[in-house]
């Protein structure tokens, strides 16, 4: 017999952090870059959703609603290949971070369409599953939280190397229930062997359909850092300015102290979990882009009209890129044997 | 064999760029519960967290280091299976961008009266995880040579160590190892008691790498082919001698590498003998030997004089502690003798 829903524990009230500050303590140029990248990211995700809805992709998952956190994150990353640069162990909501790092949006569109030209997986993996070795972006994979088990490995190599590069890991709130989250806390804080890891959690208070407060009792996920003697904080991920400043402080600490920092960012989820839940815009959650545009307009940094024009421009641009991707071929079935083993030609091992 | 692995790892630290040898109790003072990592330079003790061990090895490999990670017993590797899958698919899912040069070693199998959680095998499960190479030596020299190749690989390698053979001494010496067993022990085994000042005296070792994917012809024969690896290998060898006295002439192959395996060697032998038995001790349902038997059946059917056979562990949830239970669960000498005799003499 199904359990009476009423007997379930009530969902704990979740208090979003909105730190209303009217100051804009960043230079206008940076603010405009931030805003434009947020617009780009939103338009890209909306294009991917449109592609899904019109049959040009099998599944959509991405990060609309998290731009105010993900763009500043990308701006602070020291990109490059190898342990002298930052390593990125991301999950599937990081498109805005990649755009802020300078990535071209066509790749995401090609991955959505699973074309052979998809630069991240050659048509093998879902949308938002980036991988870019030139920039130390480890392949995004679907199993929740595994990236938290890997992040200490790259950080260990970086610590040994000296220098200021760090390893960054992102994931959601629900995933922190997995043991791999604890792995990142334990392994990054071994006494005397602390590692330069920036442990990030974007708390949108949902794991698909399950409210955070129903299944976890820790009010602030960042509190879990305290037991490990780790610096930690919960920040407003809906405000790009405070997110930038808070992240900057955390980045600087990890870069110079070579020790871990845990940051929980409260964010919105504006198109639901994924295409499996419809991918429709939700109005009940704060829209970081709209809020930011309001402030930029008030402070004369960028008018609403200008913001609108940017949105239009990118909407059209990405529609054009999608048309381009639609003409590109899918990978050939015979390529399934490629890249099973490095340095070896791909072939069916049982064919003779 | 533990000493052979230790010497190989020393060689790999010195010459092959191995940067980290780590796992639970792998560093000083213990140097591994089976002493495989005593006296080495790059060992360290990890938290008791198998997923952390595999994940950290993957991260190290991504960042250009060359890790050898140990899972203390393969019985405890099971909670890392999705990470093993991930390590095996990282190159593939990134369409060729990220290869992971990493070695995971873990003791496997029965033979030490290890009861339910120190007797598991892992070869069948591992054979379901593409993207890895998997090896399982049965002699110290092979362990040495295969470890050198594993540490040179660009791809993840699973190094399965048959626990029952951990203490066997090989017939063939490792190049550079002193002939006197006691002398070697004095040089590289950590002393009892305080070890804080102890340093290993390594013999002058040389590169005796054994390529992955090459089986070893252990015994030539004409009437029956037996393919095995790991703990059951010495049993097969001994059985072949017993049978020889009865006038039955068995050919014996030590597979050594389970993936990619030496299909050519199997084909050549089975074409000659027309009879083949696959022996290992993992549970027999969806066992790796079953795959080999299927392939032989499909590809060599018209060369066969009898059905291909698999002798493996019983499909039970665990291996019980009592001697009688262990003996009833995984192939013993008598079982191997009987299976070989039956197949060699089977008539339609
Ligand atoms: C190990 C694992 N279990 C279950 C799933 C299915 N799944 C995909 S996303 C998800 C919810 C994740 O929630 P959260 O960690 O909060 O991240 P969010 O999607 O909210 O950003 C689940 C259960 C999975 N991908 N991996
Ligand atoms: Mg969530």
Q: Does domain B216-345 have CATH number 3.30.450.40?
A: no
**Summary mean pLDDT of chain B:** 97
pLDDT digits (tens, 9 = 90+) for A34-51: 999 999 999 999 999 999
Chain A residues whose CB is inside 8 A of the B20 CB are: 156
Question: Could you tell me the distance, in angstroms and rounded to a whole number, from the CA of residue B61 to the centre of ligand 2?
Answer: 29
Grade residue A18 by pLDDT with cuts at 50, 70 and 90: low
Domain count within chain A: 1
- The average pLDDT across B282-293 equals 98
- The burial class, CB within 10 Å (0-12 / 13-18 / 19+), for A298 is exposed
Q: Which one, of A70, A72, A53, lies nearest residue A130 by Cα?
A: A70
Please spell the DSSP secondary structure of A173-238, one letter per residue: SGGGGSHHHHHHHHHHT-TT----EEEEEEE-SEETTEEHHHH---S-GGGGGGGGT-EEEEEETT
B102-123: average pLDDT: 96
Q: Which residues of B153-175 are buried (b: 16+ CB within 10 A; e: fewer)?
A: bebbbbbbbbbbbbebebeeebe
pLDDT at A16 over 80: no
To the nearest whole percent, how much of chain B has pLDDT over 70?
Answer: 100
Residue ranges of the domains in chain B? Answer: 2-188, 216-345
pLDDT at A22 > cutoff 90 = no
> How are strands ordered across the β-sheet holding A197-203?
A87-89, A167-169, A197-203, A261-266, A231-236
Cis peptide before A252 (omega within 30 of 0): no
Q: What is the pLDDT of residue A352?
A: 76
DSSP string for A71-135: HHHHHH----SSTTS-EEE--TT-HHHHHHHT--THHHHHHHTT-TT-TTTTT-S-TT---BGGG
Residue B25, phi then psi, degrees to nearest 5: 60, 20
A123 in a domain, yes or no?
yes
The predicted model gives B111-140 an average pLDDT of 97
Position A350 in a domain: no
pLDDT at A20: 57
Over residues A229-288, the pLDDT tens digits come to: 999 999 999 999 999 999 999 999 999 999 999 999 999 999 999 999 999 999 999 999
* Ion ligand 2: residue ranges with CB closer than 5 A: A 172-174, 204, 206
Q: Is the pLDDT of residue A1 over 50?
A: no
Of B15, B118, B291, B303, the active-site residue reads: B118
Cβ of B91 within 8 Å of Cβ of A153? The answer is: no
- ipTM, interface predicted TM-score of the complex: 0.95
Domain, as residue range, for A127: 22-328
Say whether pLDDT at A83 is over 60. Answer: yes
Give residue A12's pLDDT: 59
The confidence band for B78, taking pLDDT boundaries of 50, 70 and 90, is very high
Q: What is the pLDDT of residue B242?
A: 97
Is B59–A122 a contact, with Cβ atoms under 8 angstroms apart? no
Whether residue A7 has pLDDT greater than 60: no
Query: What confidence tens digit (pLDDT) does each residue in A309-337 have?
Result: 999 999 999 999 999 999 999 999 999 99
pLDDT band at A6 (very low <50, low <70, confident <90, very high): very low
Residue A95 lies in a domain: yes
Q: Is B271 on the interface with A (CB under 8 A)?
A: no
Q: Is residue A27 part of a domain?
A: yes
Give a yes or no: residue A283 inside a domain. Answer: yes
- Answer whether A56 contacts ligand 1 (Cβ < 6 A): no
Which pLDDT value is given to residue A9? 54
User: Could you tell me the distance, in angstroms and rounded to a whole number, from the CA of residue A67 to the centre of ligand 2?
Assistant: 15
Mean pLDDT of B82-107: 98
A254–chain B Cβ distance below 8 A for any pair: no
Q: Using alpha carbons, list the distances in angstroms from residue A90 to A87, A148, B216.
A: 9, 9, 44
Residue contact B59–A121, C-beta within 8 A? no
Closest CA to A44 of A89, A111, A91: A111
**CATH number of the domain where residue A268 is located:** 3.40.50.970
Residue A7 lies in a domain: no
Is residue A127 within 8 Å of A59, Cβ to Cβ? yes
**Mean pLDDT value across residues B221-230:** 98
Once rounded to an integer, what is the mean pLDDT over residues B144-166? Answer: 98
| Angstroms from A270 CA to nearest CA on chain B | 28
Mutate one of B94, B155, B212, B298 to test the A interface: name it (highest A CB count within 10 A).
Answer: B94
* Structural class in CATH, domain B2-188: alpha beta
pLDDT at A11: 57
Q: Is B15 annotated as catalytic?
A: no
In the sheet that B276-283 helps form, which strands lie side by side, from edge to edge? B216-219, B250-254, B224-228, B276-283, B309-313
Q: Is residue A351 part of a domain?
A: no
Average pLDDT (B298-308) is: 98
**pLDDT for res B348:** 82
B339 in Cβ contact with B224 (< 8 Å): no
Please name the residue that has the structure tokens 């093998």: A124
DSSP conformation letters of B129-168: -TT-EEE--SSHHHHHHHHHHHTT-SS-EEEEEEGGGTTP
Q: What is the largest CA-CA distance in chain A?
A: 71
Q: How much distance in Å is there from the Cα of A247 to the middle of ligand 2?
A: 20
Residues of A in contact with B133 (CB under 8 A): 341
Ligand at shortest distance from the CA of A204? 2
> Residues of B numbered 218-257 whose beta carbons fall under 8 angstroms of chain A's beta carbons: which are they?
none
Q: Name the minimum distance, in Å, from the CA of A351 to any CA of chain B.
A: 10
pLDDT tens profile B16-48: 999 999 999 999 999 999 999 999 999 999 999
């Amino acid at each position: 017999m199904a359990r009476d829903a009423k007997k379930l524990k009530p969902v704990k009230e979740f208090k979003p952090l909105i730190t209303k500050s009217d100051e804009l303590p960043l230079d206008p140029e940076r603010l405009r870059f931030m805003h434009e990248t947020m617009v780009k990211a939103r338009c890209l995700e909306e294009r991917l959703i449109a592609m899904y809805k019109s049959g040009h992709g099998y599944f959509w998952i991405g990060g609309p609603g998290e731009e105010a956190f993900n763009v500043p994150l990308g701006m602070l990353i020291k990109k490059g290949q190898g342990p002298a640069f930052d390593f990125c162990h991301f999950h599937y909501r990081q498109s805005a971070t990649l755009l802020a790092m300078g990535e071209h949006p066509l790749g995401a569109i090609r991955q959505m369409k699973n074309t052979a030209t998809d630069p991240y997986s050659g048509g093998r993996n879902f949308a938002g599953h980036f991988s870019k070795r030139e920039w130390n972006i480890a392949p995004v994979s679907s199993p929740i939280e595994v990236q938290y088990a890997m992040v200490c490995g790259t950080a260990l190599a970086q610590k040994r190397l000296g220098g200021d590069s760090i390893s960054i890991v992102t994931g959601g709130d629900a995933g922190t229930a997995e043991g791999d989250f604890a792995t990142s806390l334990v392994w990054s804080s071994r006494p005397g062997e602390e590692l330069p890891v920036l442990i990030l959690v974007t708390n949108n208070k949902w794991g698909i359909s399950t409210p955070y407060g129903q299944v976890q009792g820790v009010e602030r996920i960042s509190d879990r850092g305290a037991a490990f003697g780790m610096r930690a904080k919960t920040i407003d991920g809906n405000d790009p300015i405070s997110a930038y400043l808070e992240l900057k402080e955390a980045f600087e600490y990890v870069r110079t102290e070579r020790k871990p920092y845990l940051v929980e960012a409260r964010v919105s989820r504006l198109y639901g979990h994924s295409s499996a839940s419809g991918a429709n815009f939700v109005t009940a959650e704060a829209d970081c882009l709209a809020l930011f545009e309001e402030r930029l307009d008030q402070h004369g940094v960028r008018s609403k009209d200008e913001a609108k024009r940017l949105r239009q421009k990118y909407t059209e641009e990405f529609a054009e890129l999608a048309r381009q991707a639609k003409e590109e071929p899918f990978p050939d079935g015979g390529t399934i044997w490629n890249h099973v083993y490095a340095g070896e030609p791909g072939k069916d091992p049982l064919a003779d | 064999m533990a000493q052979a692995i230790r010497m190989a790892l020393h060689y790999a630290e010195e010459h092959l760029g191995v940067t980290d040898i780590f796992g639970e109790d792998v560093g000083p003072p213990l140097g591994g519960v089976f002493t495989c990592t005593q006296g080495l330079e790059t060992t360290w003790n990890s938290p008791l967290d198998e997923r952390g061990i595999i994940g950290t090895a993957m991260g190290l490999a991504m960042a250009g280091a060359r890790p050898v990670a140990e899972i203390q017993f393969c019985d405890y590797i099971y909670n890392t299976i999705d990470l093993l899958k991930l390590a095996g698919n990282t190159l593939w899912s990134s369409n060729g961008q990220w290869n992971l040069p990493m070695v995971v070693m873990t003791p496997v199998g029965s033979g030490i009266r290890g009861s339910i959680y120190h007797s598991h095998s892992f070869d069948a499960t591992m054979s379901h995880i593409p993207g890895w190479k998997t090896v399982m030596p049965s002699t110290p020299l092979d362990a040495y040579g295969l470890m050198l190749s594993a540490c040179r690989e660009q791809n993840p390698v699973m190094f399965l160590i048959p626990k029952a053979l951990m203490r066997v001494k090989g017939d063939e010496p490792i190049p550079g190892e002193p002939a006197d067993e006691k002398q070697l022990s004095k040089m590289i085994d950590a002393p009892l008691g305080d070890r804080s000042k102890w340093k290993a005296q390594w013999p002058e070792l040389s590169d005796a790498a054994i390529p992955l994917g090459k089986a070893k012809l252990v015994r030539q024969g004409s009437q029956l082919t037996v393919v095995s690896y790991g703990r059951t290998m010495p049993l097969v060898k001994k059985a072949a001698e017993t049978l020889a006295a009865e006038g039955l002439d068995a050919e014996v192959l030590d597979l050594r590498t389970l993936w990619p395996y030496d299909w050519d060697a199997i084909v050549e032998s089975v074409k000659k003998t027309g009879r083949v038995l696959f022996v290992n001790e993992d549970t027999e349902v969806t066992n790796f030997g079953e795959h080999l038997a299927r392939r032989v059946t499909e590809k060599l059917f018209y060369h066969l004089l009898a059905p291909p056979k698999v002798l493996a562990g019983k499909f039970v949830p665990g291996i019980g502690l009592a001697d009688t239970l262990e003996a009833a669960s995984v192939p013993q000498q008598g079982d191997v003798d009987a299976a070989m005799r039956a197949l060699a003499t089977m008539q339609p």
